[in-house]
Amino acid sequence: MAVTSEEIARRCGVSRGTVDRALHGRDGVSRKTRERILQAAEELGYRPHVLARSLVLGRTSTIGLVTLDLRNSFISELVTHSEMHARRRGYFTYVTNTDNEPEVEVDCINHLIDRRVDGIIVQSVHPTKDYARWLTGLPVPVVAIGNRISPNVHFVGIDDRGAAYEATRHLHDRGYDRFVIVCPPLRHLGSENIDAQEQRYLGFLDFIHSRTGDGDEPNVIQTKNLSQAVDIARSNSPARTAFFCTSDIFALGVLDALRDSGLRIPEDVGVMGFDNIDTLRYVRPRLATVDQEVETISKAAIDQLVALINKENVAAQCECPYQIVPGETA
| Contact predicate 154/308, CB 8 Å | yes
Q: Is the pLDDT of residue 235 over 90?
A: no
Average pLDDT value for residue range 33-37: 88
Q: Are 185 and 197 in contact (CB under 8 A)?
A: yes
pLDDT of residue 57: 57
Same fold: 5-48 with 160-291: no
What type of residue is 13?
G
Q: What is the pLDDT of residue 53?
A: 55
Q: In whole angstroms, what is the distance from residue 168 CA to residue 42 CA?
A: 58
Lowest mean pLDDT among 104-113, 119-128, 157-166, 214-223: 214-223
The residue among 29, 83, 74, 21 whose CA lies nearest residue 245 is: 74
Asked whether residue 50 carries a pLDDT value surpassing 60, the answer given is: no
Q: Per the CATH hierarchy, to which homologous superfamily does domain 58-158+294-322 belong?
A: Response regulator (3.40.50.2300)
Measured distance CA(58)–CA(109) in Å, rounded? 19
Q: Does the pLDDT value for residue 51 go beyond 80?
A: no
H-state helical runs in 155-194: 160-173
pLDDT-derived band at 25 (thresholds 50, 70, 90) equals low
Q: Is 273 left (phi over 0), alpha (psi -120 to 50) or beta?
A: beta
2 vs 261, residue with greater confidence:
261
Total-model pTM: 0.83
Query: By three-state DSSP, how is residue 2 classified?
Result: coil
Q: Note the pLDDT of residue 43.
A: 85
State residue 148 phi and psi, 5-degree precision.
-65, 145
Q: Are 234 and 180 in contact (CB under 8 A)?
A: no
**What is the CATH T-level fold of the domain 160-291, as seen in this structure?**
Rossmann fold (3.40.50)
Per-residue pLDDT at 5: 83
Q: How many Å apart are CA 79 and CA 2, to the nearest integer?
A: 33
Mean pLDDT of 57-74: 88
The band of 54, judged by pLDDT with boundaries at 50, 70 and 90, is low
Element spanning 282, H or E: none
Residue 58 has pLDDT above 80, yes or no: no
- The candidate with the shortest Cα–Cα distance to 327, out of 287, 280, 293, 292, is 287
Asked, as a colleague might, if the bond just before 266 is cis with ω within 30 of 0, I would say yes
Q: Which residue ranges make up each domain of the chain?
A: 5-48, 58-158+294-322, 160-291
Residue 164 confidence (pLDDT): 98
**Mean pLDDT in residue range 253-281:** 92
Helices (H) and strands (E) in the chain, counts: 12, 12
Task: Round the average pLDDT of the chain to a whole number and report it.
Answer: 90
pLDDT, position 3: 78
CATH superfamily, domain at 5-48: lambda repressor-like DNA-binding domains (1.10.260.40)
pLDDT of residue 249: 95
- Per the DSSP assignment, residues forming a β-bridge with 275 are 291
